[in-house]
Amino acid sequence: MEGLFFNVNNGFLEGIVRGYKSGTLSQSHYASLTQCETLEDFKTQLSATDYGNFLANEPSPLSTATIADKATQVLVDQFNFIRSNSVEPLSKFLDYITYGYMIDNVVLLITGTLHERDTHELLERCHPLGIFDTMPALCVATNVEELYQSVLVETPLAPYFRDCLSAADLDDMNIEIIRNTVYKAYLEDFYNYVSTIGSTTAEVMHSILAFEADRRTINITINSFDTELTKEQRAKLFPAIGRLFPAGNNTLAKADDIDQVRQVCENVGDYRSFFDNNSAGQSNGDLGDFGVAAQLEDRFFRMEVHLNKLAFLQQFQYGVFYSYVKLKEQEIRNITWIAECIAQDARDRVHDFIPIF
C-alpha cells in the first residue's frame, strides 16, 4: 500500500539519490586513479568524474587531507539538498542518519575539554554532517561538567546521554564507555523508528542496522581484551539488536580471546568469512590479535558495502538515503587511500581499497 503514495512526497528525492548513486566511481575510474604519478594527475582524473572541479580553487601542492575534506563536502552538500527538500517522515529519518555523527562530535568535544584543548579548534575537526545549531553553545563551556550539562540540554542527543555516567566520572576510559553506551541507545532507537515507517524500509534498514550492531558488539569485545573493562560492563555496551543477539551477545560477554569470538561468528552464515584466513594462507595465530583486528575491520567494510548496495534493489523505501551516505563515505575512504599511496609512493598498496561497483 505504501508504494501507492510514496512518490507523492518522496519520489523526486529518491530519483535524485539514485542519480547521485549512478555517479559513484566505477572500476575504470579507480584504474585511472591508481595509475596517477602525482596528486596533480590525481586531481585531473577526478575532474572527469561526477566530482567535477571540486579541487579547482585549491593551491598546489595538494594534500590528501584537503582532498578528503573537499570530497566530504560534496557529500554534505548533496545530503543537505535532500534534507532541505524532505518532509516527514523522511526528514526525521535523515535526522537519525546525522545522530551518529553528532555522537562522535560531542564525544570529541568532551575529550578535548577534558584535556583542556581549545574547543573552537576542535569544532574544525568535527564531521560536517554532525554539526547542529546549538553546537557553538557547547564551546562556551570551560570545564567538562558544564559541557556535559550543555549536552543534556542543548543537543538532540539528550535522550541518549541522560542515562550515561555523570560528569564527575569522566576520564579517558569512561569517555569510550559513554561513546558506546550512547551509540547503543541510538542504534536501538533508530531500529525501533524504522519499524514504524513502512515494511519495506524496515526490512532494508533492519538488516543494515543489525549488522552495524553486531559489528560494534564484536569490536567492543576484541578491544576490551586485556583492559580494565569488566565482563559485566562489556555486556552492558552491547546493542540489544542484531543477528548475534541474544545468544551470541551472551557468549561474547564472557569471551577471553579472539578464537572464542570466531566461534560465535561461525554461528551466523554471513559472518563466517570474517575470520577465514585460508585465502591469505595465514592462521589467526600467525597474524596476532592486532593483525586479526585490522583484517576484520576491512571485512566489516566489505560487508557494509554489500548490504548498502542491496538497499538499491528495492523501491519505495527510505533505506536508499542511508545507504547512499555510507557508500559515498566508503568511496571517500578509497579516494583518500589512493591519494595517500601516491603521495607516499607506496605503489605496492595502492590497490588495497574496497571497490563499490
Annotate 156-222 with three-state secondary structure: CCHHHHCCCCCHHHCCHHHHHHHHHHHHHHHHHHHHHHHCCCCHHHHHHHHHHHHHHHHHHHHHHHH
| Residue given cell 524496515 in the structure block | 202
Angle, nearest 10°, between helix axes 172-194 and 199-223?
160
Q: How far apart are CA 222 and CA 113, in angstroms?
A: 28
Q: How far apart are CA 217 and CA 236, in angstroms?
A: 10
Cell of 39: 596528486
- Cα 297-298-299 angle, rounded to 5 deg: 90
pLDDT score for 121: 84
pLDDT score for 325: 98
pLDDT score for 168: 61
Cell of 338: 589512493
Nearest to 178 by CA among 105, 97, 107: 107
Q: How far apart are CA 223 and CA 193, in angstroms?
A: 29
Burial of 258 (0-12, 13-18, 19+ CB in 10 A): buried
pLDDT score for 60: 85
Task: Count Cα neighbours of 135 within 13 Å in the Cβ-side half-sphere.
Answer: 24
Residue 197 CA from chain centroid, whole number: 23
Angle, nearest 10°, between helix axes 319-343 and 64-84?
170
pLDDT in tens, the chain (357 residues): 567 788 899 999 999 999 999 999 999 999 999 999 999 999 999 999 999 999 988 888 899 999 999 999 999 999 999 999 999 999 999 999 999 999 999 888 888 888 878 877 888 889 999 998 878 777 777 777 777 777 777 788 888 887 765 656 666 668 888 899 999 999 999 999 999 998 899 999 999 999 999 999 999 999 998 888 889 999 999 999 999 999 999 999 999 999 999 999 999 989 998 888 754 444 444 555 566 777 899 999 999 999 999 999 999 999 999 999 999 999 999 999 999 999 999 999 999 999 998
pLDDT score for 214: 97
Contact between 101 and 125 (Cβ < 8 Å) = no
Q: How far apart are CA 152 and CA 334, in angstroms?
A: 36
Q: What φ, ψ does residue 142 adopt, rounded to 5°?
A: -105, -10
pLDDT score for 279: 45
| Residue given cell 578528503 in the structure block | 68
Q: How far apart are CA 352 and CA 287, in angstroms?
A: 18
Contact between 130 and 102 (Cβ < 8 Å) = yes
Contact between 204 and 314 (Cβ < 8 Å) = yes
